[in-house]
Structure 1
């Protein structure tokens, strides 16, 4: 594999440090709109910078003014088209995919099942009749023909997979289909924060060999509108679920064996739940309640 440019090298090296593995130096064996405003453009030095970013409303942001950073050697076609995938790390996470794409790598048969692969952070969950997560290819099937390749699949939100990643992938696909002489250097790296199992996003970069018909360098956040994701394990809650859980908690009863309320209402207007920090110190409560909702309706507030 040719020597990486500064950004790509830093990205893969950082992933290796975080994940405990690297891509081997051997040759081959899909709501948002493109981010074009200045506020969506960022200068990033390595993958740790990307991992530290928090989603602020723009799912796709441009890196290095959307300019790929492949070196001249990276763009060589001397060895023909190739693809390779980084080994899974110690947490079983995918670490990255690199390729020199061409028509020769594109699939000619029907797509096979990938249901046997359960990437880290995977949870089969439907929201409003649609699955929250997809098994997201780093290099899309339409570009490489890869099916159930564990090294090429991550847990991605429906929104990450389509339309965000898909619109870049389809641009590359259409370009490759125009001529067997067309080549695209391609790189996709999933970005994890620490030991989290669900990727925070993906760093995608591509460059057509002859000219700039294809040229992008973007970071796409792994998010879904209306859903709060727990990146540590891939669990999630919707606004409706959060409200329901809050309501259930407010109505939970704290009573003794005689059915008397155990929530203490202090003279300062604060309620204390059994087992809480100041519960035992509240020795002369003004009132007793069975539920949080009951305490709140009586004008008491939670302890800070």
Structure 2
């Protein structure tokens, strides 16, 4: 499986090698061409569409399942089957976008492997969590932690249990109504899994982009684009990072019960 990890800073040997390569490149092609290759890395996941870079205020009456379908998917990154690109963390420690071309093998492997211990991972805005009661849209009440370490690319779709794939998300943002595919991130994850198991030779393009307001540490929403290789699944979905009965300070992760 081809997989690219978040960019890391090169060590001394890596820097020396880079400088040597730059020197040779300059000799043959000139300084401008060499610099262009350094300052224009690929892929550039930060270049989102306007729809992927904005969020909508959550309305409990309009969107009781914590998501809304925006339209058809925006597919702006070309990936080989089985390839995953993690944008990584920004200067504030916030998790960036994840894009994958998911295969059935990825989904099976992710579903079957044991979940790694993520209790020591603190996504940006983590640290103000406690047990609460949340009224769910279909009549039940959830009792447990308000915030989850929410995967952008689900483990069941081959996503890593790592900081670069986790955000601080409310319980409803993560799993909706706790009933499988009834909202939150579980909505698009379930659609993708179901299609892959019904179409074992196909692939699913899956992009999850957290949307932050200014320097806030918690995303207001996650924009998910999902498109099957046959085009029968083709949606862009906004998943709201909210919880009925609670006011969240997205700058810090603190919250109050209303």
- TM-score relative to the length of structure 2: 0.68
Match of 2:42 among 20, 25, 37: 25
Identify the match of residue 125 of structure 1 among 125, 130, 145.
Answer: 130
- DSSP 3-state at the match of 2:54: helix
CA distance in 2, matches of 1:145, 1:56: 29
Q: Select 2:218's aligned residue among 192, 198, 209.
A: 198
Task: Write out aligned runs for 1:32-181 (5 A).
Answer: 45-50=50-55, 53-57=56-60, 58=63, 59-63=66-70, 66-70=71-75, 74=78, 79-106=80-107, 107=110, 108-122=112-126, 123-128=128-133, 129-147=143-161, 149-163=162-176, 164-181=184-201
Counting matched residue pairs gives: 191
Q: 2:243 aligns with which of 211, 220, 224?
A: 224
In the aligned structure 2, how far is the partner of 1:87 from the partner of 1:109?
23
CA deviation profile, 1:172-191 (whole Å, cap 9, x unmatched): 11221234312001100000
Aligned positions of 1:240-279 closer than 5 A: none
Q: Please give the alpha-carbon distance, in whole angstroms, between the structure 2 residues aligned to 1:194 and 1:211.
A: 35
1:48 to partner: Cα distance: 4.5
Find the aligned partners of 1:229 and 1:105 in 2 and give their Cα distance: 35
State how far apart, in whole Å, the 2-side matches of 1:48 and 1:26 are. 17
Runs of 4+ in structure 1 off by over 4 angstroms are none
More relative contact order in 1 or in 2 (CA 8 Å, sep 6+)?
2
- CA deviations over 1:23-81 (Å, ceiling 9, x no partner): 96269xxxxxxxxxxxxxxxx8344532xx32233232232xx211226x73x6xx332
Q: How far apart in 2 are the matches of 1:124 and 1:189?
A: 23
Change (3 A) 1:136 1:142: same
Structure 2 Cα separation of the partners of residues 82 and 192 of structure 1: 26
Structure 2 unaligned regions, length at least 5: 1-39, 134-142, 177-183
Unaligned runs of 5+ in 1: 1-22, 28-43, 240-304
- For 1:173, what is the secondary structure of its paired residue? helix
With over 3 angstroms needed to count, the CA separation of the structure-2 counterparts of 1:146 and 1:48, relative to structure 1, is: closer
Instruction: Give RMSD over aligned pairs.
Output: 2.2
**Paired residue secondary structure (1:217):** strand
Cα distance in structure 2, aligned partners of 1:47 and 1:171: 20
* 1:211 aligned counterpart, secondary structure: coil
**Who wins on radius of gyration, i.e. which is larger?**
1
Per-residue deviation, 1:145: 4.4
How many Å separate the matches in 1 of 2:224 and 2:53? 15
Query: How far apart are 1:156 and its partner, in Å?
Result: 0.2
Displacement of 1:109 in angstroms is 1.9
Which secondary structure does the structure 2 equivalent of 1:116 belong to?
coil
Alpha-carbon offset, residue 194 of structure 1: 0.2
1:205 counterpart SS class: strand
